[in-house]
Structure 1
């Protein structure tokens, strides 16, 4: 009877032992799987799988966007040459004038007095000259009779005549000088343009322009403007005076303008470390105004054949710029310099040759000399 009573207990004990053995086996399998996964992760970290791209030679065209300024093709501040008063004002701000057009008439009474005095001196010296010339002519005529006039007297008379003639010429030169000053009382436009400032009124006293003094007028040629930009030193080697640029103006956001490079400075500005470029902009519609700011797109033509790679293949650390070349499944860092960029492509310069294989997505996590595996 006791034998049958203990049978359930034995069955339960056997079932518990079986469960314990199964749990232990399952635990061992899980540890093995975790260990294998960890080993695979470590192996992948030590030997990363990378996509490789070949180094190729090519030419890359690009452009840079830099700020520029529109300035008048010609601009001049007009001052009075002599001390005088404003007698007539014939133009005002906004007046369109032509070359040679009279702008203002000045008045200087003392110049008229100087002119009259110069004319009187000419007549005075001419009278003296005519008298000395008549004396010399008579002596020459008399000297034809031998022994009547000494040679010394004849030479003295000739010298007196020449001196009086010199005085006449000097008086005429003085008259021209005064006449020139008289001409300065009329100020005319030196070229076609627009009067953009006026700083005088009728009756104002004006004089020669000096430091800090305001001009009578400012005249600008606005039919043609200069678009001026300063190109940074890094890009000056790719510039061409045959390039055509596009630019936009904030005041006219829906319009695009074009201009051709006409003048290059050929030297760098010491402060900006940039080269000055000038483009001629024809402004017949008068939409553009001098001293407007422009956003200029300057093309950088392709140069000699260089190495062209994807931007992602170039890595930058705190110390260097480099690409990762793969040789026999080993990574090699190669120092390079960046060139032009266009879209996703970039020029590079370094110790490379066509056909070298580079890591397409480079980073400093792939250490120099580490093993890599090419992605299939």
Structure 2
């Protein structure tokens, strides 16, 4: 009897243990099934970053200035010291003209200046003589006048009148001598001005460079007759063409829709493939006028070229920075749901449930968009397959990294 009781208890315990194991196993399978039913979602965290909008344009280098160097006077080229490709400095002599008649004219002005100086000296002496004569005659008249006043009748009236007349005549001669001196000085000034004019013309027989640059063309050789560049009735021939190439202009055709972003000082990256160089420049001027034919605005960047490694006519690819937003909230563009003018994103909240948020976007790059409102830093947004999720649905977040910098590089077509 006792053995039978023990057997029954053992069987009951075994059956109870079996039921417990079966219950635990069913519960684990139920949990696993429930976890398997929760969908996963690729999410990224809203962070701060930098978005840049750039415009790529092709441009062509042009010299800062191009000057046809003419002669100021007509003459034959006696010497020419430069040729195509020569680098010259401002004030450097490029050519010397031979003008024989100008030399004779110069000598004539030298003689005129000397003669005018002699006339001034002669007139000064004449003034001195006239003043001395007037002083003597005036003194005689005063003495006679005083004697006649002291003893009336002592001096005849005729004699007194003659003395007075001589005094007045000598005074008039003094005035005439002074006028002659003034005229001589004026004539001397005219002679000096004429001499200076001819001296300048003689100096113009040396043709000099008006600026630092490179000779890009030579029009005349030794012995050629060159007409003065100031003559309006003749087609004067330049001696050389001079290009200022130590500073170049890079002209870019900016499309109409980017004109609003152009301002002086805007940074420009310039890539010149011909010399394998990348330069950094700034916008220095623009026309403020959109061409009706191309719908573009000419914009210029000055590029230093002290070593003359760049040549006018070379092409360059320039990248203009139109807009830049730094340290702003960003969200991947693939996370944005567009519905007309309204933008929204799906956010995974702290309970891992899906919410919909309307957002206001700012500058957009190629991967990121600036978030002006609707999201906070650290929010988790779904970055793909948004149509698969329901609002309020629980999801398993699968984090994906987000870039912190993005550039929207727009290619300009030059208005074509």
Q: CA contact under 8 A between 1:233 and 1:268: conserved in structure 2? A: no
Q: CA contact under 8 A between 1:103 and 1:189: conserved in structure 2? A: yes
CA deviation map 1:59-90 (0-9, x unaligned):
23565433233344664331122333333322
Match among 241, 255, 260 for residue 218 of structure 1:
241
How far apart are the structure 2 equivalents of 1:268 and 1:314? Answer: 39
How far apart are the structure 2 equivalents of 1:347 and 1:266? Answer: 31
Q: CA contact under 8 A between 1:310 and 1:346: conserved in structure 2? A: yes
Tell me the equivalent position of 1:200. 220
The offset of 1:293, in angstroms, is 0.8
Larger RCO, structure (CA 8 Å, separation 6 or more): 2
2:201 aligns to what SS in structure 1?
helix
Match among 163, 175, 200 for residue 180 of structure 1:
200
Q: CA RMSD in A?
A: 4.2
1:200 aligns to what SS in structure 2?
coil
Q: CA contact under 8 A between 2:213 and 2:244: conserved in structure 1? A: yes
How far apart are the structure 1 equivalents of 2:259 and 2:226? Answer: 49
Runs of 5+ unmatched residues, structure 1: 1-48
Give 1:140-289 correspondences, 5 Å limit: 140-145=131-136, 146=139, 147=141, 149-150=167-168, 151-201=171-221, 202-208=223-229, 215-222=238-245, 224-226=246-248, 228-230=250-252, 232-233=258-259, 235-236=261-262, 240=266, 245-249=269-273, 251-252=274-275, 255=276, 257-261=277-281, 264-265=283-284, 269-271=288-290, 272-273=296-297, 275-283=299-307, 286=309, 288-289=310-311
The offset of 1:135, in angstroms, is 1.1
The offset of 1:173, in angstroms, is 0.9
Q: CA contact under 8 A between 1:233 and 1:274: conserved in structure 2? A: no
Match among 80, 89, 92 for residue 89 of structure 1:
80
CA deviation map 1:206-229 (0-9, x unaligned):
22167986632122354x343625
The offset of 1:326, in angstroms, is 4.5
1:305 aligns to what SS in structure 2?
strand
The offset of 1:157, in angstroms, is 1.8
Tell me the equivalent position of 2:162. none
How far apart are the structure 2 equivalents of 1:234 and 1:345? Answer: 24
The offset of 1:165, in angstroms, is 0.9
Q: CA contact under 8 A between 2:328 and 2:370: conserved in structure 1? A: yes
Instruction: With the length of structure 1 as denominator, give the TM-score of the two structures.
Output: 0.65
How far apart are the structure 2 equivalents of 1:93 and 1:270? Answer: 36
How far apart are the structure 2 equivalents of 1:345 and 1:195? Answer: 50
Match among 128, 133, 139 for residue 137 of structure 1:
128
Instruction: With the length of structure 2 as denominator, give the TM-score of the two structures.
Output: 0.59
Say if 1:259 and 1:359 are closer, same or farther in 2 by CA, change over 3 A: same
The offset of 1:330, in angstroms, is 7.3
Say if 1:268 and 1:180 are closer, same or farther in 2 by CA, change over 3 A: closer
Aligned residues: 310
Runs of 5+ unmatched residues, structure 2: 1-39, 142-165, 291-295, 348-352, 397-416
Match among 322, 327, 332 for residue 310 of structure 1:
332
How far apart are the structure 2 equivalents of 1:375 and 1:359? Answer: 10
How far apart are the structure 1 equivalents of 2:80 and 2:46? Answer: 73
Match among 370, 379, 403 for residue 348 of structure 1:
370
Say if 1:110 and 1:152 are closer, same or farther in 2 by CA, change over 3 A: same
How far apart are the structure 2 equivalents of 1:316 and 1:233? Answer: 28
